[in-house]
Structure 1
Amino acid sequence: MTTPFGARLRSLRKERGVTLKNLSDALGVSQAYLSALETGRRPKPTPARVDQICAYFGIIWDEAEALKDLARLSQPRVTIDTTGLSPEATQLANRLAQRLRRLDARKVRQLLDIVG
Structure 2
Amino acid sequence: MTTPIGEKIRTLRKQKGFTLDRLAELAESSKSYIWELENKDPPRPSADKISKIAMALDVTPDYLLTDAVAVEDATDTAFFRKYRTMDPSTKEKIRKMLDLMGGDE
Q: TM-score range by the shorter chain?
A: 0.5 to 0.7
Q: Distance in 2 between matches of 1:57 and 1:48?
A: 14
Structure 2: runs of 5+ lacking an equivalent:
68-105
Q: For 1:49 and 1:28, locate their aligned partners in 2 and report how far apart those are by CA, in whole Å.
A: 8
Q: Compared with structure 1, are the counterparts of its residues 52 and 12 closer, same or farther at alpha carbon in structure 2 (3 Å cutoff)?
A: same
Shift in alpha-carbon separation, 1:65–1:41, aligned structure 2, 3 A: closer
Deviation for aligned residue 1:42: 2.3
| Change over 3 Å in CA distance of 1:19–1:28 after alignment to 2 | same
C-alpha separation between the residues in 1 aligned to 2:4 and 2:44? 10
Deviation of 1:36 (Å):
0.8
Normalized against structure 1, the TM-score is what?
0.51
Identity of aligned residues (%): 31
Tell me the residue number matched to 1:43: 43
Paired letter, 1:67: L
The match for 1:59 is 59
RMSD: 1.7
Q: Does 1:6 align with 2:6?
A: yes
Aligned to 2:29: 29
How far, CA to CA, are the matches of 1:65 and 1:33 in structure 2? 20
Q: Structure 1: any 5+ residue segments left out of the alignment?
A: 71-116
How far 1:41 sits from its partner (Å)? 4.5
User: With CA pairs under 8 Å and 6+ residues apart, which has the higher RCO, 1 or 2?
Assistant: 1
Q: Confirm whether residue 69 of structure 1 aligns to residue 71 of structure 2.
A: no
Matched residue pairs, number?
67
More divergent stretch after superposition (46-55 vs 8-17): 46-55
Deviation at 1:22, TM superposition (A): 0.4
